[in-house]
Amino acid sequence: MSETQKKTFAVLTSGGDAPGMNAAVRSVVRTALHKGHTIYGIFHGYEGLMQNRMDELQERSVSNIINRGGTILYTARSKEFTTEEGQKKAVEILRSRGIDGLVVIGGDGSFRGAQKLSALGIPTIGLPGTIDNDIASTEYTIGFDTALNTAVQSIDKLRDTSQSHDRCSVVEVMGRNAGHLALYAGLATGAIATLIPERPFNLDSDVVDRMKATMTTGKHHFIVVVAEGVGNSKDMCYYIEQRTGVETRLTVLGHVQRGGDATAMERVYASAMGYRAIELLEQGVGSRIVGVKENRIYDIDIDEALSMKKDINELFYEVAREISI
Strand order in the sheet with 124-128: 54-56, 38-42, 8-13, 101-106, 124-128, 288-293, 296-301
With a CB cutoff of 8 Å and minimum separation 6, the contacts of 143 are: 17, 18, 19, 20, 21, 129, 130, 131, 258, 266
Answer for the pair 222, 216: CB distance below 8 angstroms, yes or no.
Answer: no
Positions marked active-site? 132
Strands 168-173 vs 248-252: parallel, antiparallel or unpaired: parallel
DSSP string computed for 275-291:
HHHHHHHHTT--SEEEE
Q: Where are the beta strands (DSSP E) in the chain?
A: 8-13, 38-42, 54-56, 101-106, 124-128, 168-173, 193-195, 222-227, 248-252, 288-293, 296-301
- The C-alpha torsion from 255 through 189 and 199 to 310, rounded to 10°, is 70
